[in-house]
């Protein structure tokens, strides 16, 4: 017979009360772990989808002066560029440690071109990457399928008085217009877009690129790491994170985290109150028992242990059960809150220590005061006849 025997027998033979106490903890721990788990899934989903909305890293050659630029990128032929980027540099970015986190890699070659109808900025792009990077583009007509086909921004079309199906002569080459972008509100409206390789040939800058737009966001690693890895991979390039884009993405993610944290806090607070009321009532109910234990020589520390062991044991078991409940609950709820509409059914054991830890903390916080109160009870109550 040891102190824990009293604990175990009390739990075993006072089933209804133990079950009620456990239920309070199970529901709260299950809810909190589900919320955290769902929150992580939703965050991942948000992060993955936010990646699709534009670049968040710009890779440019190191330059000394800025004369003519697009979105801060120097494209003037008068500026002196110490280093130039190549299409191979773009491929190298895929090879960084976090290469798998890069969803879009869009190299561009910009040049001011003389056309038969005036000067205009021409952007050589990889159309397949560009379409993925700029999901907001709406095109009237079709994307080019051959190298002598181009598309125009709506202002460029207006300025040059061109329409779909028309032709334009750039330098000495002729190009067919297959589509016109609807207004984007950006500098894209004033530009001509053609195939990157063709632009290289046209401007005698084969394999050269003016800058590279990168869309990358890794939910579980900071963007700064990707920037650092890219800088190391391309020492002659300037790698700049677009702070605003990153901050808005992270803000969207953190706002859900804060929401989940707030709800979890409220649930845990309610749980602590439920456990407190339950343990306190149990201590009141056991006043005579505590009096007997004191009369037969139990010290305050022994009384404290009897109560705390009981709460701790129920908390540990409840934490485990809460974890078991939270996993299928996560699988059921996640599809409703994520854009993918599906989720894994696999049990993630990372949440087991979290569930048990939360449960024990709730139990101890709620149970410690009633336990201390039990040690201060008057032992002479044992002498009072029922």
CB of 288 to other proteins, least distance (A): 6
Give 9 or 146: the residue with its C-beta nearer to other proteins: 9
CB of 275 to other proteins, least distance (A): 20
Cα 3 from chain centroid?
A: 48
Of 9, 67, 140, 148, which one interacts with other proteins (CB under 8 A)?
A: 9
Give 235 or 297: the residue with its C-beta nearer to other proteins: 297
* Rounded Cα gap, residues 286 and 270, in angstroms: 24
Give 203 or 309: the residue with its C-beta nearer to other proteins: 309
* Rounded Cα gap, residues 72 and 212, in angstroms: 13
Torsion sign, CA atoms 118, 124, 128, 133: negative
CB of 286 to other proteins, least distance (A): 9
> In 3-state terms, what secondary structure has residue 109?
strand
Question: HEC profile for 257-315?
Answer: HHHHHHHHHHHHHHHHHHHHHHHHHHHHHCHHHHHHHHHCCCCHHHHHHHHHHHHHHHH
What residues from 251 to 290 belong to the interface with other proteins (CB under 8 A)? 288-289
Of 136, 259, 265, 383, which one interacts with other proteins (CB under 8 A)?
A: 383
CB of 378 to other proteins, least distance (A): 8
What residues from 290 to 319 belong to the interface with other proteins (CB under 8 A)? 291-300, 302
- CA distance to 71, 313, 381, per residue, from 78 (Å): 18, 76, 97
Give 185 or 297: the residue with its C-beta nearer to other proteins: 297
* Rounded Cα gap, residues 144 and 164, in angstroms: 12
Give 82 or 376: the residue with its C-beta nearer to other proteins: 376
> In 3-state terms, what secondary structure has residue 349?
coil
DSSP 156-196: HHHHHT--TT-EEEETTEEEEEEEEEPP-SSGGGGEEEEEH
Give 10 or 178: the residue with its C-beta nearer to other proteins: 10
Q: Residue 71: count other Cβ atoms within 10 Å of its Cβ.
A: 13
Question: 37: buried, middle or exposed (CB in 10 Å: 19+, 13-18, 0-12)?
Answer: buried
CB of 364 to other proteins, least distance (A): 22
What residues from 226 to 245 belong to the interface with other proteins (CB under 8 A)? none
- CA distance to 226, 237, 334, 336, 337, per residue, from 43 (Å): 19, 32, 11, 14, 10
CB of 17 to other proteins, least distance (A): 10
CA angle 376, 277, 309 (to 5 degrees): 60
* Rounded Cα gap, residues 339 and 100, in angstroms: 21
Give 139 or 304: the residue with its C-beta nearer to other proteins: 304
Give 147 or 302: the residue with its C-beta nearer to other proteins: 302
Tell me the H-state helices in the chain: 3-13, 15-50, 87-93, 127-133, 154-160, 196-202, 223-233, 243-285, 287-295, 300-337, 351-375
CB of 289 to other proteins, least distance (A): 6
CB of 348 to other proteins, least distance (A): 38
Of 16, 145, 346, 386, which one interacts with other proteins (CB under 8 A)?
A: 386
**For the window 340-379, what string marks contact with other proteins as x by the rule CB under 8 A?**
---------------------------------------x
* Rounded Cα gap, residues 106 and 58, in angstroms: 10
* Count, residues in the chain: 386
Give 70 or 298: the residue with its C-beta nearer to other proteins: 298
Give 19 or 332: the residue with its C-beta nearer to other proteins: 19
Asked if 16 is part of the footprint of other proteins (rule: CB under 8 A), the reply reads no
CB of 368 to other proteins, least distance (A): 20
Number of residues that bind other proteins (CB under 8 A): 29
What residues from 154 to 183 belong to the interface with other proteins (CB under 8 A)? none
CB of 223 to other proteins, least distance (A): 59
List residues near other proteins by CB under 8 A: 1-3, 5-6, 9-10, 12-14, 288-289, 291-300, 302, 379-380, 382-383, 385-386
């Amino acid at each position: 017979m040891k102190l824990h025997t009293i604990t175990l027998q009390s739990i075993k033979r006072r089933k209804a009360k133990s079950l009620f106490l456990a239920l309070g903890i199970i529901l709260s721990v299950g809810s909190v772990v589900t919320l955290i788990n769902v929150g992580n899934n939703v965050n991942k989903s948000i992060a993955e989808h936010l990646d699709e909305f534009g670049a968040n890293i710009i890779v440019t050659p190191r330059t000394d002066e800025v004369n003519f630029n697009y979105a801060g990128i120097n494209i003037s032929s008068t500026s002196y560029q110490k280093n130039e980027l190549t299409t191979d540099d773009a491929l190298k970015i895929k090879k960084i440690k976090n290469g798998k986190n890069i969803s879009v890699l869009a190299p561009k070659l910009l040049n001011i071109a003389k056309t038969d109808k005036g000067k205009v900025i021409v952007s050589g792009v990889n159309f397949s990457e560009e379409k993925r990077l700029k999901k907001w583009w709406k095109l009237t007509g079709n994307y080019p399928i051959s190298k002598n086909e181009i598309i125009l921004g709506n202002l460029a079309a207006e300025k040059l008085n061109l329409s779909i199906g028309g032709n334009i002569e750039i330098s000495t080459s002729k190009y067919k217009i297959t589509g016109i972008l609807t207004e984007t509100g950006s500098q894209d409206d004033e530009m001509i877009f053609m195939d990157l390789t063709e632009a290289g040939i046209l401007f005698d800058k084969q394999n050269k690129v003016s800058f590279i737009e990168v869309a990358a966001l890794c939910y579980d690693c900071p963007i700064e790491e990707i920037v650092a890895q890219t800088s190391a991979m391309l020492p002659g390039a300037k790698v700049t994170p677009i702070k605003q884009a990153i901050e808005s993405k992270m803000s969207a993610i953190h706002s859900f985290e804060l929401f989940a944290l707030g709800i979890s806090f409220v649930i845990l607070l309610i749980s602590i109150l439920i456990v407190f009321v339950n343990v306190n009532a149990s201590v009141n109910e056991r006043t005579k028992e505590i009096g007997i234990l004191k009369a037969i020589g139990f010290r305050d520390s022994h009384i404290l242990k009897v109560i705390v062991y009981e709460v701790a044991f129920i908390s540990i078991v409840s934490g485990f059960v809460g974890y078991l409940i939270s996993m299928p609950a996560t699988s059921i709820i996640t599809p409703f809150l994520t854009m993918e509409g599906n989720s894994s059914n696999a049990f993630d054991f990372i949440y087991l220590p979290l569930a048990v830890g939360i449960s024990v903390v709730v139990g101890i916080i709620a149970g410690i005061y009633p336990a201390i109160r039990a040690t201060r009870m008057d032992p002479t109550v044992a002498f009072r006849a029922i």
